[in-house]
Amino acid sequence: MEKYRQPEVEEIDWPATRANFKVFLVAYRRAREKVGQPPAPKVTQSFMLVPPSTTNPRSGEAERMLIRREEDLEEFNELHELFMDGYAAINTVNPERSERRKKIFFLRYLQGLLVEEISERLFIGRDLISQESKKAIQQFCNELELTVMKSETKKSK
C-alpha cells in the first residue's frame, strides 16, 4: 500500500518540486507549439481534456520539414501522454471537489490566471485556491515522479 500513499506536505522539498513542475510545463508547452497546438490543451466545461488534433495541415511541404514535424510530433505525444496521466491524478473522493481542483490547476498553471482572478471567476476564497493548488501540484508531480522529498535533498548536501 506504500506505493499509493501521498507524501505529507511537510516531507516535500517544495522549491525543488515546483522547479521540476515548471521544467515539465515549459517543455510541454514548447512541444505543443511545435506541432501547431495552442499552449494549453482544450478542456470541456467540466475541465475534462479534449484529445488534440495533430493532423498535418501543410501536407505539401518539403521532406525535411515533414521529418522534423514527425520528431516534434513524437515528443508532443510523449509529453501529452505524461500530462494526461498527471492531470488524471488530480482528484479526491468527492467528484465535485476533484472537478474544482482540476479547474484551479488548469486556470492557474496552464492559463496563468492569478489567485485573485480565479477567486473572482469561481467565487471561492483565495486560501482555498492556494490549498487546492498545492494539492493539485502534489498529485500531478507524484504521478509523474517529479516530486522531490526533503530527505533526498538532505542526503545530497
Give the per-residue pLDDT at 69.
75
Greater confidence, 137 or 42?
Answer: 137
Distance CA 64, CA 66 (A): 5
CA-derived radius of gyration, the chain: 18
> Residue 63: what pLDDT?
47
User: What is the distance between the alpha carbons of residues 140 and 77, in angstroms, rounded to a whole number?
Assistant: 18
Q: Give the three cell numbers for residue 45.
A: 466545461
Q: How crowded is the C-beta side of 87, counted as CA atoms within 13 Å?
A: 26
Residue 62 pLDDT class (50, 70, 90 cuts)? very low
How far is C-alpha 64 from the chain's CA centre? 31
pTM of the model: 0.83
Sign of CA dihedral 99, 105, 110, 114: positive
Average pLDDT, the chain: 86
Total count of residues recorded for the chain: 157
